Amino acid sequence: VDLGLLRQNADLVSALVGPKVGLLAVVKADAYGHGALACARALEKKVFGFGVSLVEEGVELRRGGIEAPIVVLGSFYGLSHRDVVAYRLTPVVSDVADLERFARAADELASPRVPFHLKIDTGMSRLGIRPEGVGDFVDRARRISGVELTGICTHLGEADGDDGAFALAQLARFDEVRAGLAAGGVRPALAHAANSAALVRFPEARYDLVRPGLLLYGHAPAHAALAGLRPVLSLRSRIVSLRQVPAGTRISYAGLFTTARATTVATVPVGYADGYSRRLSGRAEVLVAGRRAAVLGAITMDMMMVDVTGLSAQLGDEVVLLGAQGQERISAEDLAAWSGTIPWEIFCGVSKRVPRVYVGERA
Ligand SMILES: Cc1ncc(COP(=O)(O)O)c(C=O)c1O
């Protein structure tokens, strides 16, 4: 995980949106598998704050010494209202009942008023108050003295879709809600709506804060190219076993693959328990000696086999599953295409038993 590249990517996003727009760096899901605390420490001086999904993720950052604002995007709180207050997290709220609980927790902990951001459902149908319910929500929220509306936000469902019309319609609804509130004298200090795709593609979605995730990690969503972006994470292993087998040899479980020629087979100790999906069986390529090499047969829980015939590979040689080696590169898009998913899931899928090795920690 190259934290220097993470910082560079953040600089590119900042340069694009300009000095008046802050970055709420999305580091939920352990910073998409990159390591939330390491990434937050690397970015803290460059960003307004951090977006997490869960209260526990916010607590981890505070305990690790992060002082910047931490916004809990997930917006469900269970029994965690006291933690939100005690760790000075900023909750995104879609239910008035939560405000009462935050106010009670603030009272018990003798804390100042709890700042919160109101989530508006403009079309994603996942979280948030629908526009017609916002007036009632705000009236009720005003009567709860222990909380303070400091932000308003929404989330776009199709910002990277081929047709931008739905995203623009969502933004229009968001603007209507904000105008309605302003007419009643309610002007939250912060508005935010844009994920990576939206912040590149729709300047009108930038408001006060943008919420990039994927872009920071060095990948542009569809329709949202950003020159200079560099992938932050690579996944590397080594050959732990090598064998020569004749034509007609079955490789791995379930007889999914039989060699058609004499083959040099390398075993690589990465399997689906590490997040290298079994759906990549027989489809993926890795890099060995700067060349692309095919994955043979079924990916097993802890290992996979690779065809290194003619590559003069040695025991202990590096194998790149994601990232560059020589002139070649395996991208998250490649892995996503081979396994029928999206780059976000590739990153989040790298499991916790894979050691994260950081470079570029010093700015
Ligand atoms: C509410 C919210 N905002 C922002 C993001 C960041 O999205 P992206 O990684 O596409 O930038 C996400 C990610 O899923 C999200 O759920």
| 28 is known as an active-site residue | yes
Does the CB atom of residue 213 touch ligand 1 within 6 A?
yes
- How many whole angstroms from 17 Cα to the centroid of ligand 1? 17
Phi-psi region of 117 (alpha: psi -120 to 50; beta: other; left: phi over 0): beta
Catalytic residue among 46, 87, 253, 358: 253
- How many whole angstroms from 195 Cα to the centroid of ligand 1? 5
- The pLDDT of residue 236: 98
Ligand 1 closest atom vs CA 24: 4
User: Mutation test of ligand 1: which of 156, 192, 211 has the most ligand atoms closer than 8 Å to its C-beta?
Assistant: 211
Tell me, yes or no, if the pTM score tops 0.85: yes
- The pLDDT of residue 38: 98
Q: Which of 355, 350, 243 is nearest to 306 (CA)?
A: 243
Whether 363 has a pLDDT exceeding 80, the answer reads no
Residue with tokens 């933004």, as numbered in its chain: 171
Name the amino acid, one letter, at 224: A
- How many whole angstroms from 350 Cα to the centroid of ligand 1? 18
Instruction: Look up residue 89 and give its two tokens.
Output: 């997290």
- The pLDDT of residue 188: 98
Residues 57-92 pLDDT 10s: 999 999 999 999 999 999 999 999 999 999 999 999
Cα torsion 322, 328, 334, 335: sign: negative
Q: How far apart are the first and last CA of the chain?
A: 14
Torsions phi, psi of 358, nearest 5? -105, 135
Residue 165 pLDDT level (bands cut at 50, 70, 90) = very high
Instruction: Look up residue 230 and give its two tokens.
Output: 């560099």
* Rounded-to-integer distance, Cα 207 and Cα 217, Å: 22
- The pLDDT of residue 362: 81
- How many whole angstroms from 212 Cα to the centroid of ligand 1? 6
Q: Which of 92, 102, 46, 41 is nearest to 71 (CA)?
A: 92
Does the CB atom of residue 153 touch ligand 1 within 6 A?
no
Above pLDDT 70, what percent of the chain? 100
Residue 18 pLDDT level (bands cut at 50, 70, 90) = very high
* Rounded-to-integer distance, Cα 348 and Cα 332, Å: 11
Residue with tokens 């899931």, as numbered in its chain: 345
| Alpha-helical runs (H) found in the chain | 3-17, 28-32, 36-43, 55-63, 81-86, 96-108, 134-142, 165-183, 196-201, 332-339, 343-349
Contacts of 307 (CB under 8 A, 6+ apart): 263, 264, 265, 266, 293, 294, 296
Catalytic residue among 28, 77, 207, 272: 28
How many beta carbons lie within 10 A of that of residue 182, not counting itself?
Answer: 11
Q: What angle do CA 177, 223, 213 make, to 5 degrees?
A: 65
- The pLDDT of residue 48: 98
